[in-house]
Amino acid sequence: MFATLISNARIFDGVSVVSECGHVLIESGRITQISLMEPLSPESPCKVVDASGCTLLPGLIDAHMHVFQDVQLLEIAMRYGVTTVLDLHNEPEWFKAINAITRQRNDVADVKSACYAATIKNGWPSAIVKLVSQEPDIDDRIAKWPDLTDKKSVEEYVARTKAAGASFIKLMQEDGYTIDLPFPEVPVPTPSFELQKCIVDTAHENGLLTLAHALSNHSTLLVLKAGVDGLAHVSMDPVTDELIQAFKKNNAFLIPTLAINTSCSGAEQESREKFASDLEGEEKEHLCGCMHITKKEFSSETAYEQVIALKEAGIDILCGTDTSIDLKGTRSGASVHHELWLYVNRCRFTPLEALVSATSKIADRFGFSDRGKIEEGRLADLVLVSGDPVQSIDALRDIKGVWRNGERLAQK
Ligand SMILES: [Zn+2]
């Protein structure tokens, strides 16, 4: 692979703007040299990209997706500058197949997976999947999901999931309280506090980070008390001091997933359409469509207030969308841009804070020391945009180049 020199770029390194006219050398898939002022003159031949008037950023990360076996989601992500996605519940076999592809191809985003979440019989997400899935063999598939009941089953599950290549463990604490769907059992069965604590403790003993699905304050408090490291959604209840203190006690992070929150509530139709403006046909319809499954007493405004309060209390916010192929109102990559736009325009983030939430903060919290920052030695997963997204987050949409492992994505 040829070396590449990206010259004259404003550089946002994942934390701050470190140069207004800097130079980055890429060799063998890694960032090997950074000069914040003086031009670089590499000894060996290289492609030169003149990035005058552009900003270079680390490849973006979506901290909440469901990839399943849909490689096209990873191809689309790349076109939006998203070079890594976190897959928060998947069939281990599907992840294995996806992982084999991401190792061979640099035109698809990389995936870090939870593999199977820590599920219980008739709990989440089987309660909703059974209602909405069109798959004829869905019951057979669900029958293979973990049915955690006690310490022994948890130990086996964590060992198996780690062996399958999981990078973290996902907990599910969902009783259906905010969701307007005819579940077969109400409330939807949830794991006990003791079981959740056992899952967190066992994951930690195995060196795995934990994060949990929860949509209410009650569920969020329960999993925080059980010791989780982060939440995979914002709670839809009004924020309370008790909740803020519980986040602080664990130093837990929050992945708000406002992209799916607003699809479920039906809010933000206008901004969703803005991010679908370059799409056509079914793709446009999918992103502009809404799930409309939130009970009407829960609003996205309350969720924004929750995000604002947690951020202002110093809680780490990590960008994630909950995009998957069957969730209307989301689209791979485009929803990351929408999510960041919502942070800036609804949750009082500066554009810089939003960009940090989709790059270095995710890498730091998940322990990915090879990506998320523009730093010598890290992977050359990069995105180049015209203009300055640190001044205006809208500039993120004007993508001039995307690299994964130092290879530039061919423009379509
Ligand atoms: Zn999800």
The domains of the chain, with CATH numbers, are 1-59+373-412 (2.30.40.10), 60-370 (3.20.20.140)
C-alpha of residue 7 to centroid of ligand 1, in Å = 39
The answer on pLDDT for 259 being more than 70 is yes
The answer on pLDDT for 412 being more than 80 is no
C-alpha of residue 173 to centroid of ligand 1, in Å = 12
The answer on pLDDT for 26 being more than 70 is yes
C-alpha of residue 255 to centroid of ligand 1, in Å = 10
C-alpha of residue 322 to centroid of ligand 1, in Å = 5
Tell how strand 230-231 and strand 253-254 pair up.
Answer: parallel
C-alpha of residue 410 to centroid of ligand 1, in Å = 30
Q: Helix/strand/coil (H, E, C) string of 357-407?
A: HCCHHHHHHHCCCCCCCCCCCCECCEEEEECCCCCCHHHHHCEEEEEECCE
The answer on pLDDT for 391 being more than 80 is yes
Share the mean pLDDT of the chain: 97
C-alpha of residue 32 to centroid of ligand 1, in Å = 36
Digit-coded pLDDT (tens) for 287-314? 999 999 999 999 999 999 999 999 999 9
pLDDT in the model for residue 43:
86
Q: Percent of the chain, pLDDT > 70? A: 100
The position carrying tokens 């929750």 is 306
C-alpha of residue 165 to centroid of ligand 1, in Å = 19
C-alpha of residue 323 to centroid of ligand 1, in Å = 7
Digit-coded pLDDT (tens) for 159-175? 999 999 999 999 999 99
Tell how strand 382-386 and strand 54-58 pair up.
Answer: antiparallel
Distance CA 179, CA 296 (A): 9
C-alpha of residue 161 to centroid of ligand 1, in Å = 18
C-alpha of residue 40 to centroid of ligand 1, in Å = 44
pLDDT in the model for residue 133:
87
Digit-coded pLDDT (tens) for 188-247? 999 999 999 999 999 999 999 999 999 999 999 999 999 999 999 999 999 999 999 999
**Residue 365: both structure tokens together:** 């919290």
C-alpha of residue 231 to centroid of ligand 1, in Å = 11
1 pLDDT band (50/70/90 cuts)?
low
C-alpha of residue 64 to centroid of ligand 1, in Å = 6
C-alpha of residue 65 to centroid of ligand 1, in Å = 6
Q: Output phi, psi for 13, to 5 deg.
A: -90, 5
C-alpha of residue 176 to centroid of ligand 1, in Å = 14
Residue 213 CB contacts under 8 Å (≥ 6 apart), including other chains: 88, 117, 124, 170, 171, 172, 173, 174, 232, 233
C-alpha of residue 317 to centroid of ligand 1, in Å = 16
Distance CA 333, CA 322 (A): 11
